Chain A
């Protein structure tokens, strides 16, 4: 027992002394969701942060708050910063597993000197710091519809004008919204309608989807992984499919796939950084946040994936210096979810709605699918 205490004491002392060893630079553990997205973060601002004498330990996780809760609850915080969507950021902040962050303190000024007001979108809690915005979109095969092509959400359900099977994510998120818009619910009222009507609204959406599924000229193919939609479209298995804008962009730009994104009915979604409660590296985390959200740094991530920074000055920087893509010839602007041309008929992800109802609606979705 006594020697155990001694070891513990030694370890604590060592831990207490450890930061002193990195007095010149910061060391910070950053966890994100992998893939092309995390690559854009590493190349966009990660490398520059390290070049300035700091160290980043990158980790990958699959989203969700489970691991974060465990770390905070057990007092064993290994990750300092995590990349979370807005629903997770709100929940985590409410539960107290994220540090409250003063946005002013971690925001480097834009070229015109503005700081917090430079954010085009207001954050929805006191903990997270917004990074980039992406779109839940859908796309069609340009070989199948070379002349008259789908342009509105209604066209996604119109098998008379555009026959052929459709791809859809195996989840009620986005499918329910699209079905309601196509069924006549005004785009900006979709989530209020869902909140007010509850199960009846979900049933209305599922009926609309079921009609499409049973239509001999239509049909639904359910996809599960983000890489599937471009592949299904390119192979001709489906004529249209929902999917994430970045995935379609990669297929179009890098593989020259015959795919065109339709932005009508896009659902805009927001990514954030949050700092784990009780992290021993709070100052390092703040220094990283100030660096990563600086306009030139956050803008650089869009070279590698076409996601729009929350900060207006960063978006201006991208548009003023096209072609911005890493290949040196592709304009990134047309692929940004926040491009005004892509925002004619859009809605912002219903963070509150899905945070509260995802489980029950998913159960309903599964029951509906099993009965098809």
Chain B
């Protein structure tokens, strides 16, 4: 903050002492700042750090990591690595099942391999030949690729997996290749999520702008009715609003039944529920108020005399709208679009309830990996990418967006 000189209406100059004003200001926002740091920033940093922080698992494999330090990521490591992992399993027997689960995130089948190995450890000679004779997977370089990844305190593999990529050679972080085709899901989901966000923004703007215009012009009862229609859903629980769409859209629901009865559609009524269509429709419905309200607030401040002046000066109504009215209301539209983008980017409940597999978004994968597969590293990497995209989008909008005078 810099020292400011203000001119009071009386004309005398009064000096505000800068230091004190700053202190008072800081003191006033301190509780808010503290709450934000404690309950937003710290948990966020902690959670996103899970995507790269692998220290706990690396600790269980400390001897293996040392033995693998001269391994180049190709073929099988030497005998000492097998002896080291036998020692690590023995010394951390309490954590074997957790370790096995984490290895399994990078190589299917590791849970059973680790479980059987741990149970029979005393009977296996701690050499390469001994391990491979016990189970053929110990002779698979992919097994050692997973072990190497998990033995390092810092992990970039979750971020690669979140983009359908993987490190070809675990010891060289830049040897990136595509995941096998059957395991590629995230690129498709990222694209679908972006596409849904853009479609929902477009639909909300197309429906919301005329609605906001109507509200800004309406008087008396019409205004109360219109505003009530926009605000009422805000006061209804989200879950109730979403499930009521199920009653409308499911194949024995109101809309398909009506369509079939009206004879408008020949043959079977296309499926309207449990797919991408339902996700887009319900998301548009849920997010519509966020398009209407900011636009309405801006429209209310626009002076009607400017539009009339344009008409008086000879502009056609269409030209007056595009050159005079629209530019003045654009900040409201942009604000609505930003809100909807941020919300729809992380949408999870609506696709979960109405979208079926074809209408699920990246948020559903985060929820799945966070609560079901317990792959918190991947969930954190996906969340991190989500967060970075929003930050980047916000920056771009800040540069591009029209400023209000």
A contacts, CB < 8 Å to B: 69, 73, 91, 94-95, 165, 199, 203, 213, 216, 219, 221-222, 235-237, 355-357, 359-360, 362-364, 366-372
Contact = CB atoms under 8 A, between A and B. Distances in A.
Contacts of A371: 184-185, 188
B185 A360 contact: no
Interface of B: 94, 97, 101, 104, 108-109, 111-112, 115, 119, 182-185, 188-189, 250-252, 268, 271, 274, 356-358, 360, 365, 368, 373
Given A237-B250, A369-B357, A370-B185, 11 more contacts: A69-B97, A94-B119, A165-B251, A213-B357, A222-B357, A235-B252, A356-B111, A357-B108, A359-B104, A364-B108, A370-B189
Contacts of A94: 115, 119
A249 to B, nearest CB: 24
B357 A360 contact: no
Given A203-B182, A216-B268, A219-B271, A363 B373 contact: yes
Nearest to A216: B268
B253 to A, nearest CB: 9
27 contacts: A73-B94, A91-B115, A94-B115, A95-B97, A213-B357, A216-B268, A221-B274, A222-B356, A235-B252, A236-B251, A356-B109, A357-B112, A359-B101, A359-B104, A359-B111, A360-B108, A360-B111, A362-B373, A363-B373, A364-B182, A366-B185, A367-B182, A367-B184, A367-B185, A368-B182, A371-B184, A371-B185
B108 A359 contact: yes
Contacts of B271: 219
Nearest to B360: A370
A235 B97 CA distance: 43
User: Is chain B's interface secondary structure helix, strand, loop, or mixed overall?
Assistant: helix
B183 A367 contact: yes
Contacts of A363: 108, 373
Given A203-B182, A237-B250, A359-B108, A372 B357 contact: yes
Contacts of B108: 199, 357, 359-360, 363-364
Contacts of A364: 108, 182-183
Contacts of A73: 94
Contacts of A372: 357-358
B140 to A, nearest CB: 12
Contacts of B189: 370
Contacts of B188: 370-371
B184 to A, nearest CB: 8
A285 B115 CA distance: 29
Contacts of A235: 252
B274 A366 contact: no
Contacts of B250: 237
Contacts of B109: 356-357, 360
Contacts of A69: 97
B64 to A, nearest CB: 22
Nearest to B104: A359
